[in-house]
A = this chain, B = another copy of it.
Amino acid sequence: MSDFSTLELMVRKLSYRLKLDADDRAAILALPFTVKTMERHRSFVREGEPTTHSCVLLSGYAIRTKIVAGGERQIVSIHMKGEMLDLQNSLLETADHSVQMLTTGKVAMIPREDILRISVERPMVGRAMWIDTLVEGSIFREWIANVGRRDARTRIAHLLCEFSLRLRVAGLGRDTDYELPMTQEQIGDATGLTPVHVNRTIKALEAEGLIKRANPRFVHIGDWRKLADAGDFDSNYLHMPKDEPALR
Identify the closest chain B residue to A88 (Cβ). Answer: B134
Q: Is A147 an interface residue (CB 8 A)?
A: yes
Q: Is A218 an interface residue (CB 8 A)?
A: no
Q: Is A137 an interface residue (CB 8 A)?
A: yes
In A91-137, which residues have CB < 8 Å from any B CB? 91-94, 96-97, 116, 119-120, 123-124, 126-127, 129-131, 133-137
In A65-103, which residues have CB < 8 Å from any B CB? 66, 68-70, 72-74, 76-77, 87-88, 91-94, 96-97
Report chain B residues within 8 Å CB of A186.
none
Cβ-defined contact, A134 with B133, below 8 A: yes
In A129-184, which residues have CB < 8 Å from any B CB? 129-131, 133-138, 140-145, 147-150, 154
Cβ-defined contact, B126 with A129, below 8 A: no
Name which of A22-30, A32-40, A199-207, A231-239 contacts chain B: A231-239
Q: Is A48 an interface residue (CB 8 A)?
A: yes
Cβ-defined contact, A69 with B131, below 8 A: no
Within the complex, the shortest CB–CB distance from A101 to chain B, in Å, comes to 18
Cβ-defined contact, A93 with B133, below 8 A: no
Cβ-defined contact, B138 with A92, below 8 A: yes
Report chain B residues within 8 Å CB of A64.
141
Cβ-defined contact, B119 with A127, below 8 A: yes
Identify the closest chain B residue to A238 (Cβ). Answer: B96
Cβ-defined contact, A93 with B239, below 8 A: yes
Q: Is A192 an interface residue (CB 8 A)?
A: yes
In the bound assembly, the distance between CA atoms of A202 and B31 in angstroms comes to: 52
In A186-208, which residues have CB < 8 Å from any B CB? 191-192
Report chain B residues within 8 Å CB of A141.
64, 66, 76-77, 96-97, 140
Q: Footprint of B on A, CB under 8 Å?
A: 17, 47-48, 64, 66, 68-70, 72-74, 76-77, 87-88, 91-94, 96-97, 116, 119-120, 123-124, 126-127, 129-131, 133-138, 140-145, 147-150, 154, 191-192, 232, 236-237, 239
16 A-B pairs whose Cβ atoms sit less than 8 Å apart in the complex? A68-B150, A69-B150, A73-B149, A74-B148, A74-B149, A88-B138, A91-B134, A96-B142, A119-B127, A120-B124, A120-B127, A130-B133, A137-B137, A140-B141, A143-B144, A144-B147
